């Protein structure tokens, strides 16, 4: 039974998809005016893992992640560089796929672009105008928040408190300071599209409502993104979407916590603002992914050199366990399986699933994975039957595949090398040190190193 913390109800809820066996997820993607930063990487990685977990549990997942490819920052940078907004967007969409791919983030089912969904946005805006919830002023269209009495229900914000804290200038076109733009009238030097209100471009919030509805329907299961998007972006999505349809928009809202840099909020003014491309010049991408998995997605997470070293060490332990498993399996013989070990392995898999079912708690699930690593290192050896090893390999692979880690190829040891290693293990047992050394040299000549550890000998490719 999967439980999800719903930002709207502010409590954990049992997950029940709208359509049995199928899940629709919309995850807010990047605004493509630059390389995405390390803070953006957290939702991309974490919700990729969430998707993998749902699929492992038999769900058919439609995962939609958009590209915001028209926006104030994009226009400013494109004008500065003397290129079109479209050219700028294409450059950084390509960069997104390269950097996200390095982090093990799988492409979404659909990656819609805002600029390719103007008819859907205009239809939605027109519906809000017709319903009296939005109004046009000098070629721009605004959502009138007082016309949607439930405004603030997602973030828990009180409309009166928000209103008292807001200010409206004399020359402001809006009726209310909390009203937000659905359509912006054309300005010189900006890309624009035809609409019933004249040429212009969409507001940011309407883009996500239109694109999510296009691919997931007017009512879908899960909407996710960073905590910084809860208000006003997601709040405005709820208001305009439900104002248009008259029924619930999303059943579960999931928001990940902030990523700090050396215990400080990331900001350009502090000089601790890093793109993923910057980070990957110094750190391995899989180590970054491992760090993200080490904490619950809703908790704050600190990115530091020490934390990265811990993530790297943890990942090395996993690779070592994988190599040991493959080495043992390569030389294993059929025999009576160890029922007690089989049960222990099953219990660890159950604890992993329990962690993931508990609001997608990757830290808890990671603990179960390392319990399995301990078992691999201390309770499995050359005498373990193939059937027992197969169960360990299956559980280990299932867990690491859900996490999207251990993607680097670990070669299975050739049978010739394994036979020499087995002979060397026997020579050591017989205290025939001369033969042991000779066999080590033969193994080395075939391109492998043999290491003696408390858990037995380990083979590594040179």
CA separation, residue 199 to residues 27, 204, 211 (Å): 29, 16, 21
Instruction: Provide the residue count of the chain.
Output: 462
Q: For residue 376, give its domain range.
A: 311-395
In this predicted structure, the answer to whether residue 314 has a pLDDT above a threshold of 70 is yes
Alpha carbon 401 to its chain centroid, in Å, reads 14
In this predicted structure, the answer to whether residue 410 has a pLDDT above a threshold of 80 is no
Average pLDDT over residues 234-259: 97
Q: Are residues 347 and 239 in the same domain?
A: no
In this predicted structure, the answer to whether residue 457 has a pLDDT above a threshold of 60 is yes
In this predicted structure, the answer to whether residue 252 has a pLDDT above a threshold of 90 is yes
- Residues 142-161 have pLDDT tens digits of 999 999 999 999 999 877 76
CATH number at residue 390: 1.20.120
Number of domains in the chain: 3
Q: Are residues 180 and 219 in the same domain?
A: yes
Q: Are residues 220 and 182 in the same domain?
A: yes
Helix (H) or strand (E) holding 399: helix 386-403
CATH number at residue 85: 3.40.50.620
Q: Are residues 155 and 227 in the same domain?
A: yes
Q: Are residues 380 and 424 in the same domain?
A: no
- Residues 262-306 have pLDDT tens digits of 888 887 777 778 899 999 999 999 999 999 999 999 999 999 999
Mean pLDDT of the chain: 92
According to the model, what pLDDT value does residue 124 have? 98
Q: Tell me the pLDDT band of 455, cut-offs 50, 70 and 90.
A: low
Q: Tell me the pLDDT band of 140, cut-offs 50, 70 and 90.
A: very high
Average pLDDT over residues 120-136: 98
CA separation, residue 37 to residues 205, 295, 415 (Å): 21, 19, 45
For residue 319, tell me if it sits in a domain.
yes
- Of 212, 241, 256, the residue at which a domain comes to its end is 256
For residue 167, tell me if it sits in a domain.
yes
**Segments in 103-247 forming alpha helices (H):** 118-130, 159-165, 204-216, 235-245
For residue 25, tell me if it sits in a domain.
yes
Number of CB atoms found within 10 A of residue 149's CB: 9
Q: Are residues 204 and 333 in the same domain?
A: no
Average pLDDT over residues 195-204: 97
- Residues 209-235 have pLDDT tens digits of 999 999 999 999 999 999 999 999 999
Q: Tell me the pLDDT band of 429, cut-offs 50, 70 and 90.
A: confident
Average pLDDT over residues 198-208: 96
According to the model, what pLDDT value does residue 17 have? 98
For residue 207, tell me if it sits in a domain.
yes
For residue 221, tell me if it sits in a domain.
yes
* Long-range own/partner contacts, residues 158-166 (CB < 8 A, 24 or more apart): none
pTM beyond 0.85: yes
Closest CA relative to residue 307, chosen from 283, 328, 324, 323: 283
- For the four alpha carbons of 386, 388, 391 and 397, in that order, the dihedral sign comes to negative
Q: Are residues 362 and 449 in the same domain?
A: no
According to the model, what pLDDT value does residue 170 have? 42
Q: Are residues 55 and 163 in the same domain?
A: yes
For residue 357, tell me if it sits in a domain.
yes
Q: Are residues 70 and 217 in the same domain?
A: yes
Q: Are residues 348 and 446 in the same domain?
A: no
**Regarding predicted confidence, which is higher, 373 or 432?**
373
Q: Are residues 98 and 36 in the same domain?
A: yes
For residue 35, tell me if it sits in a domain.
yes
What is the DSSP-derived secondary structure letter of residue 35? P
- Of 367, 395, 423, the residue at which a domain comes to its end is 395
For residue 134, tell me if it sits in a domain.
yes
Distance CA 53, CA 257 (A): 20
Q: Are residues 163 and 104 in the same domain?
A: yes
**Segments in 158-283 forming alpha helices (H):** 159-165, 204-216, 235-245, 276-279
According to the model, what pLDDT value does residue 412 have? 61
């Amino acid at each position: 039974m999967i439980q999800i913390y719903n930002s709207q109800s502010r409590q954990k809820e049992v997950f029940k998809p709208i359509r049995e066996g199928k899940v629709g997820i919309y995850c807010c993607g990047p605004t493509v005016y630059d390389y995405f930063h390390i803070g953006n990487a957290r939702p991309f990685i974490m919700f990729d893992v969430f998707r993998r977990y749902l699929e492992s549990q038999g769900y058919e997942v439609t995962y939609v992640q958009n590209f915001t490819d028209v926006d104030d920052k994009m226009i400013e940078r494109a004008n500065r560089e003397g290129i079109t907004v479209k050219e700028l967007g294409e450059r950084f969409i390509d960069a997104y796929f390269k950097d996200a791919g390095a982090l093990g983030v799988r492409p979404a089912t659909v990656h819609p672009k805002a600029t390719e969904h103007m008819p859907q946005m205009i239809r939605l805006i027109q519906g809000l105008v017709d319903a009296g919830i939005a109004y046009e002023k000098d070629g721009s269209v605004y959502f009138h928040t007082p016309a949607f009495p439930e405004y603030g229900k997602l973030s828990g914000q009180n409309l009166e408190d928000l209103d008292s804290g807001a200010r409206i200038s004399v020359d402001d076109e809006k009726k209310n300071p909390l009203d937000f733009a659905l359509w912006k009238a054309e300005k010189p030097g900006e890309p624009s599209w035809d609409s019933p209100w004249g040429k212009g471009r969409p507001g940011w919030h309407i883009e996500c409502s239109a694109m999510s509805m296009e691919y997931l329907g007017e009512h879908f299961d899960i909407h996710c993104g960073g905590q910084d998007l809860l208000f006003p972006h997601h709040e405005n999505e709820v208001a305009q979407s439900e104002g248009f349809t008259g029924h619930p928009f999303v059943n579960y809202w999931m928001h990940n916590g902030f990523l700090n840099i050396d215990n400080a909020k990331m900001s350009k003014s502090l000089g601790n603002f890093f793109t993923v491309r910057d980070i990957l010049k110094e750190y391995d991408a899989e180590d970054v992914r491992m760090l993200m998995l080490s904490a619950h997605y809703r908790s704050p997470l600190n990115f530091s050199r020490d934390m990265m070293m811990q993530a790297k060490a943890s990942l090395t332990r996993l690779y070592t366990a994988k190599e040991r498993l493959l080495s043992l399996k390569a030389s294993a013989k059929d025999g009576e399986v160890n029922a007690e070990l089989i049960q222990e392995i099953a219990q660890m898999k159950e604890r992993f699933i329990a962690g993931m079912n508990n609001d997608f708690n990757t830290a808890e699930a990671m603990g179960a994975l390392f319990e399995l690593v301990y078992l691999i290192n201390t309770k499995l050896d050359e005498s373990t039957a193939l059937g027992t090893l197969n169960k360990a390999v299956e559980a280990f692979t299932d867990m690491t595949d859900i996490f999207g880690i251990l993607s680097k190829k670990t070669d299975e040891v050739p049978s010739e090398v394994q036979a020499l290693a087995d002979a060397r293990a026997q020579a050591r047992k017989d205290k025939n040190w001369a033969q042991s050394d000779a066999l080590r040299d033969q193994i080395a000549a075939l391109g492998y190193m043999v290491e003696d550890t408390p858990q037995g000998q380990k083979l590594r490719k040179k």
